[in-house]
Structure 1
Amino acid sequence: MNFGLYREMLRIAPIRRLLIVGMIARFPHSAAGVLLTLHVVNTMDRGYAAAGAVAAVVTIGIAVGAPWRGRRVDTIGLRKALIPSVIAEAVIWSTAPHVSFEWLLVLALVGGVFTLPVFSVVRQSLGVLATGEQRRTAFALDSIATELIFMMGPALGAVIATQISSVIGLTAVGLSAAVAGLLLIWFNPPTRSPEPEKAVTAVDEQEAAAATAVAVAPANIQEAPMELTGAGLPDGPQNMFERLRHGVAGNFTWFSPAVAVVFAVAIGAGLLLSSTDVGIVASVEAGGNPSEVGIVFVAWCAASAIGGIVYGAMKRRFSPMSLLLTMAVLTMPMAFATDTLSLALLSIPAGLLCAPVLSAASERVADLVAENRRGEAMGWYGSSMTAGTALGAPVAGLAIDVIGPWSGFLLAGGAAAVLVLATLSARRLFLRSAPVR
């Protein structure tokens, strides 16, 4: 291990500024999850399944919007791409606390679509500012910074919701997120290298090959029998289909089996983290002291920060899949907690691997995808994580309502472990069936 890597990284002024701005921009939404849960459960007097449904709708919106937002950053630039988010954050989350549950679901979906894309923007910019082995340390630093925020955000959200008002808390989240968006627009972190010609990778060569295939395809199609291709018509249905197929393929030439594995890690991580999140709130709430939820989040996130510090100083690279599987197994013992203190202590082993999982996965995406498509790829990576979150929160909430708070942790760890094993099996079958060249 070489902890001096952190000192070297923080000496780079653009990276240091980016990490600070990223922390500020993440803070509002770090409190939003607990605020939404307690708003639905306490203020609206509904169960954890309903709270999980709202969380799921938000994350579905994020999953739908993230690739589109990432692509907009790639095509029109960061500043223009963030303007809709700044407006939506202020308007939607100032309105959502005052509406019925049905309208809350609608606003949560729209708010998710236009959520400030802090995660993908920061990770995309770090992928530009740091190269090679530096990326592991840079992404670890970002994960550590994120954990520091999540040590404070949920605790503050719980205090505001229980001691003041969840309505005031959600309104503050929206206005603060809008201010954070303006800060990102002002800072305008780089999302492309200053010399893009030096950023050409194997992915670019694949895109060129795909473009050649598109150009050649019509000629090949026309040589086929007319009754099968419709080539006798200027725009035969088969020709239109082929053009569409090649066009879609050309837009996703960056996507590969290796990238698919990373996205599976993101789904599993989102499922595991959201289920654990709901389980922590439900367990502490069941103990009769909801304001103590911050104690557990501090222990959980502090462990993640420590794990991130250690991982970022390592020279050896670890598989995101193996890290996620270990984290899933270590999450299940949280079901045996008897009070807030024991829950906080049992959250530490799993927390130690949280930041390393996310750092390893982000580093892998940055290595696999060319930077001219990295914004879109990071958007899909974020969508994969939020898809897992959308699945984990309501399912864990339903299990908690029917069985008990402890069931959320067993469900979270078991589901993430099954996903890892299924992905590894699918990858093994793919490699066996792939033709040898």
Structure 2
Amino acid sequence: MRLTPYRSVLGLPGVRTLLVVAILARIPSVAAGVTLTLHVVLELDRGYLAAGLVATASTIGAAVGAPLLGRMVDRRGLRPVLAVCTVAEGVFWSVAGWLPYPMLLGLALLAGVLMLPIFSVVRQSLAALVPPDQRRPAYALDSMSVELSFMVGPALAVLLATAVSPQATMWAVGVGVVLSGTALFVFNPPVRAESESVAADGPVPPRRSWLTPRMLAILAIAAATTLVLGGTDVTVVAVLRESDQVGWTGLVLALWGVYSLIGGFVYGSLSRVPSPLVLLAVLALGTVLVALAGAEWFLLAVALIPAGALCAPALAAAADAVSHLAPPSVRGEAMGLHGSAITVGLALGAPLAGWVIDASSPRWGFVATGVAGLLVAVAVLPVYLSRRRPPLSVPPTQRAAEPSLAATD
């Protein structure tokens, strides 16, 4: 394991500032979901189904809006998009606490479409700031920063909601989102490298030229990765509740996050790494094997080590692959599609695990989500195999002109 790749990446102009801003800016965004849930359940006196519908509406909006906002970034630049989204989110969080449930449901959908695109913007900016051969440690750092935000954001939201009120938490999230959008607006990280600007100002390549089977495979891998993670999250809670050890849930989930941080750090320091497909397959298989862990909480925590250590690497590998496959002029839209894939995966993982848990027993949640990940890996395997053997009809000069896929193989 080497530290040199990280030193080189963090020494590039703008990268360190971008990562610090990203960690702070993502905290209110990742706290939004649990904040809305607590508001609907505690202050609107609705059930968890109603709270889940609000979260689903926001998720659908975010999945639809991410590529649209990315396309706007490609066409109009970053600052106009940040300005519109910051104002829209500020309005939503300032009035959401006063709305009746039906209006909150509809506005959550619209706010999701205009959700501040922090995750995709950071990844697009890293592709602009970091040379292609150094992006692996850069995206590993990004995945670790996401992990930190998820470890801090929801916990802060729950603490503030229980210590003060869900209404105050909603205002705090709104203030945090507005400050995040403002910070990104002022910082204005580049979305294209200087060497890419000339090429990006030319004709926009048709979508079919870059949304290839290879790109679709990477997007499917990203979605399957977060599906496995979302299902694992729910299943851990259910398993500990069944064994009357729910008090250890926070510690087990925190250890799971630490495993991911360590795995991401190791991944970014290596000179050769497995492909995103292999990382997904091993992550999914490791998740299935967690079902064999004993009943005690510490045995579950130990069983999560192999799969947990691959969370950040799998997410980083998919983002790195998208950055290599997408032309600079459409990288915002491509990263938006990547963000949508991640969002859809998270949205599917929890209900899939929950459905299986309700129909059988908690441990089968690990099996269900792990098998789902393995099925996606098998489904995209032909794309990888065909890419390794280009058809003979493709001229050698054209093969040489294709984007480098070293980071994805």
Q: TM-score when scaled to structure 2?
A: 0.84
- Give the Cα separation in 1 of the matches to 2:15 and 2:56: 33
1:352 lines up with 2:309 in the alignment:
yes
Say if 2:226 and 2:345, in contact at 8 Å, map to a contact too: yes
Q: Secondary structure of 2:63's partner?
A: helix
For 1:281-320, list aligned pairs within 5 A: 281-282=237-238, 293-320=249-276
Say if 1:365 and 1:378, in contact at 8 Å, map to a contact too: yes
Question: Which residue does 2:226 correspond to in 1?
Answer: 270
User: Residues 120 and 26 of structure 1: is their aligned pair in 2 closer, same or farther, counting only changes over 3 Å?
Assistant: same
Please tell me the residue identity of whatever aligns with 2:174: G
1:411 lines up with 2:368 in the alignment:
yes
Say if 2:204 and 2:329, in contact at 8 Å, map to a contact too: no
Say if 2:204 and 2:330, in contact at 8 Å, map to a contact too: no
For 1:67-82, list aligned pairs within 5 A: 67-82=67-82
CA positional deviation for 1:98: 4.6
Say if 2:70 and 2:332, in contact at 8 Å, map to a contact too: yes
CA deviations on 1:193-226 (whole Å, 9 max, x unpaired) are 22336767xxx8994xxxxxxxxxxxxxxxxxxx
User: Residues 309 and 415 of structure 1: is their aligned pair in 2 closer, same or farther, counting only changes over 3 Å?
Assistant: same
CA deviations on 1:331-354 (whole Å, 9 max, x unpaired) are 234445646544444333222111
CA positional deviation for 1:24: 0.9
- Give the Cα separation in 2 of the matches to 1:333 and 1:63: 31
- Give the Cα separation in 1 of the matches to 2:383 and 2:323: 23
CA deviations on 1:322-374 (whole Å, 9 max, x unpaired) are 10111112223444564654444433322211111111111111111121111
CA positional deviation for 1:289: 7.9
Please tell me the residue identity of whatever aligns with 2:349: G
Q: Secondary structure of 1:133's partner?
A: helix
CA deviations on 1:234-259 (whole Å, 9 max, x unpaired) are xxxxxxxxxxxxxxxx2442211211
CA positional deviation for 1:21: 0.6
- Give the Cα separation in 2 of the matches to 1:342 and 1:104: 42
Question: Which residue does 1:32 correspond to in 2?
Answer: 32
User: Residues 101 and 350 of structure 1: is their aligned pair in 2 closer, same or farther, counting only changes over 3 Å?
Assistant: farther
Question: Which residue does 2:400 correspond to in 1?
Answer: none
Say if 2:290 and 2:366, in contact at 8 Å, map to a contact too: yes
CA positional deviation for 1:435: 7.9
Please tell me the residue identity of whatever aligns with 2:210: W
Higher mean displacement: 169-178 or 420-429: 420-429
CA positional deviation for 1:422: 1.9
- Give the Cα separation in 2 of the matches to 1:46 and 1:77: 42
Q: Secondary structure of 2:14's partner?
A: helix
Shift >6 Å, 4+ stretches: 285-291, 429-435
Question: Which residue does 1:420 correspond to in 2?
Answer: 377
Question: Which residue does 2:20 correspond to in 1?
Answer: 20
Q: TM-score when scaled to structure 1?
A: 0.79
CA positional deviation for 1:96: 3.5
- Give the Cα separation in 2 of the matches to 1:53 and 1:132: 40
CA positional deviation for 1:56: 3.0
Higher mean displacement: 188-197 or 91-100: 91-100
2:214 paired residue among 255, 258, 261:
258
Higher mean displacement: 163-172 or 63-72: 163-172
- Give the Cα separation in 2 of the matches to 1:113 and 1:16: 29
Higher mean displacement: 94-103 or 416-425: 94-103
2:332 paired residue among 375, 378, 393:
375
Please tell me the residue identity of whatever aligns with 1:269: T
CA positional deviation for 1:403: 4.5
CA deviations on 1:170-211 (whole Å, 9 max, x unpaired) are 3322221111011100100001222336767xxx8994xxxx
Q: Secondary structure of 2:328's partner?
A: coil
CA deviations on 1:254-301 (whole Å, 9 max, x unpaired) are 211211111111111232222223334555666778775432332122
Say if 2:97 and 2:170, in contact at 8 Å, map to a contact too: yes
Say if 2:12 and 2:129, in contact at 8 Å, map to a contact too: no
- Give the Cα separation in 2 of the matches to 1:337 and 1:110: 44
1:363 lines up with 2:316 in the alignment:
no
- Give the Cα separation in 2 of the matches to 1:54 and 1:99: 13
CA deviations on 1:138-188 (whole Å, 9 max, x unpaired) are 111111122122222233233334454334323322221111011100100
What is the identity percentage for the equivalent residue pairs of Structure 1 and Structure 2?
43
| Unaligned stretches of 5+ residues in structure 1 | 208-249
- Count of aligned pairs between the two proteins: 391
